[in-house]
Structure 1
Amino acid sequence: MPMFYSNKARGFFPGAMRAAYEAAGTWPADGVEVTLDDEAMLRDAISTGATIRKKSGGKWDITAPPPPPFAVLAVPFLASVRQTRDAILNRLAGIGFAAMASGDAATAQAVATARTCLLDITVCPGVAAAQDIESLQVAVSAEFARIADTLSGEARRAFDDAGTAAPQ
């Protein structure tokens, strides 16, 4: 049974149903008969969002779709950074309150400063300058490490417990 492909519809039409399609007025004007191999290749191209053109001489020209923009790729990573940040912020809040209650002004101030930096972690200059996922990951890790380096003891462990693996 012959199969026809319409690039305009980006779909396949069985030749055995041509009369029914024509009766309904839905047979594609650009439909071309394709082999089983071409059908498989075209279905794969459609599923990946590739651009498909029929060249002169009957050959197919398939162009892969462009990669998604960096901003789209960064969204899920930055969401996970915010979750990690929130876990650290919660832990530091408790540590800061305990430091205030015990009169440890230096620790309370260090925790408050670290919390402020954490709130800005997704918009700090190094992170904002990243142009690809790899550099974004490096920038975020460096910023977590920089903030952790300003703390000591239990406050610093908040970063390790949250999975940022801040160096000790």
Structure 2
Amino acid sequence: MYERDSCRSYSTDEVLWIEYRHGMRSWTDEYLSMAGRTFNAANFATTLDGRIFVVSGFIDELTQAENDDFIAQLSKRYGEPEHTKNSFFIEDYDLYTWTLEDRTLKYAVATTDESNAVKFEVERNEAGELTDIRPGERETHLQSYFFVIDAAWKERFLASGHPRSGDFVFCK
């Protein structure tokens, strides 16, 4: 399920582009793939006439080794990225940027300790009947956001005066 939203200029209220953001996701979903990684959610931004100019993917749970491998694969293909440390409200994240002639790739990695998650472990017997529910352990892991931005729209999309929502907040 996708949510559609018009991105508007703060100063003029002009509609700048349309965003399509995933409303729900599951770790079993597979929407996009890049450099050996499969993303379990996808987002899009389009021009007002429907041309896609940004595609993004999200991985809900990633190990440090998987993260390092993805960066290595992209670096092998596109050269060394620019690496910055950014934050959005209280969440710090690393942002890697590869600028190519026709597009810009951005990869944001945030660490989560699941402090805002409710986790349960469910136990079932051989017949599939519920036998126990208990609190689950919270785990620290990485979440990643990958963006492909059309070069013709890069400056406009990344301009600081334009609003962001959903996963797009991590591509600044």
Task: State the TM-score, normalizing by the size of structure 1.
Answer: 0.21
Larger Rg: 1
Higher strand share: 2
TM-score normalized by the length of structure 2: 0.21
Comparing both structures, which one devotes a greater share of its residues to helix? 1
Which protein has greater RCO, CA pairs closer than 8 Å, 6+ apart?
Answer: 2
